[in-house]
Amino acid sequence: MSSGTNRSGGIAGFSALVTGGGSGIGFGAAKLLVRHGAHVTICGRTEDKLRTAVTAFEAAAASGSGDGPRGTASYVVADVTVEEQIAEAVATAASERGRLDILFANAGGSHHMGPIAGADVGQVRATVDLNLIGTFLSIKHAAPLMAAGVGIGVDGAEPEGGSIIGMSSGAGHFPHRYLWAYGAAKAGIDMMCKYAAEELGSVGIRVNTVQPGLVDDELMAPITGGGPLLDDYLAETPISRVGTVDDIAEAVRFLAGPESSWISGENLAVDGGHHLRRGANYGLLFGE
């Protein structure tokens, strides 16, 4: 494997899979990867949402500068908790070039919020499955198609592996009251990605995670719209504003490309410094 990665080469021509790419941070990251010339496949469970997203990516690429790289977008319907479906999504993303260069394992969410005592075990298991198991299955099937020497590199060059980015959260790094099931699953993603980084580095695969703070997207709209919980977030965030989808997408783009070629095993907080203080108090949603 070469040590002389071309840091100015960008990601034009790279193949990428973004899970949960039909909305929110996944949508923003996929759109940016397409804009930078990657061939991006998004997956999710809702075909209408995926189809609308791909149309938006293509329109954005067509309206961009004619001088820069222009990527492509496609979709496949897949549930990341179903191994056969995520395996098919990975294979589809890699089919054009015979390899996968970028995986953003973004799909996630929370099925439980509240105290540990009395928690519904089904909701907790669903949260762990969606976040931790879904990310594990994505990595399991992506890694063999990323290893150095698999397929061909951009412009016929020898491929040097790939980049995997897992979606974590500040809740996985420090406690947010009553968000423990989601936070524990995200903490599992952070540690699993460290293990994967150690294991897969020898075949040129880098593995990192991003830990977003409070981001103004569809999922968090009930909080970012205002109220005591938003006030609590802002009071505990040194750069006291709500994050944007673009804030996270730019971090994903950096970790996906050759600019970060010697970064692996990192859990990158993108949260305005929230991790320097205490976690949000979701007890405020319960009148505490």
Q: What is the pLDDT of residues 82-97, one digit of tens each?
A: 999 999 999 999 999 9
**What does pLDDT average to over the chain?**
94
Q: How far is CA 261 from CA 118, 146, 199, in A?
A: 46, 14, 16
- Give the pLDDT band (50/70/90) at residue 68: low
Percentage above 90 pLDDT, the chain: 87
Q: How far is CA 76 from CA 17, 93, 113, 150, in A?
A: 10, 9, 30, 23
Task: Express each pLDDT in 88-144 by its tens digit.
Answer: 999 999 999 999 999 999 999 999 999 999 999 999 999 999 999 999 999 999 999
Q: What is the pTM of this model?
A: 0.95
Task: Provide the H-helix boundaries in the chain.
Answer: 24-35, 47-62, 83-94, 121-128, 134-142, 180-200, 221-224, 228-235, 245-256
Domain ranges in the chain are: 15-286
User: pLDDT at position 2, please?
Assistant: 37
User: pLDDT at position 156, please?
Assistant: 72
- What order do you get walking across the sheet with 102-105 strand by strand? 72-77, 39-44, 15-19, 102-105, 162-167, 205-212, 267-270
Q: Which of 39, 5, 41, 37 is nearest to 20 (CA)?
A: 41
DSSP class of residue 98? T
Task: Express each pLDDT in 147-197 by its tens digit.
Answer: 988 887 777 777 789 999 999 999 999 999 999 999 999 999 999 999 999
Question: Above 90 in pLDDT, residue 200?
Answer: yes
User: pLDDT at position 6, please?
Assistant: 44
Catalytic status, residue 75:
no
User: pLDDT at position 65, please?
Assistant: 57
User: pLDDT at position 166, please?
Assistant: 98
Task: Exactly one of 75, 178, 182, 233 is catalytic; name it.
Answer: 182
Q: Determine the CATH number of domain 15-286.
A: 3.40.50.720
Question: Above 80 in pLDDT, residue 257?
Answer: yes
Q: How far is CA 119 from CA 71, 114, 255, in A?
A: 45, 7, 36
Q: What is the DSSP string of 174-236?
A: S--BT-HHHHHHHHHHHHHHHHHHHHHGGGTEEEEEEEE-SB-STTTHHHHTSSHHHHHHHHT
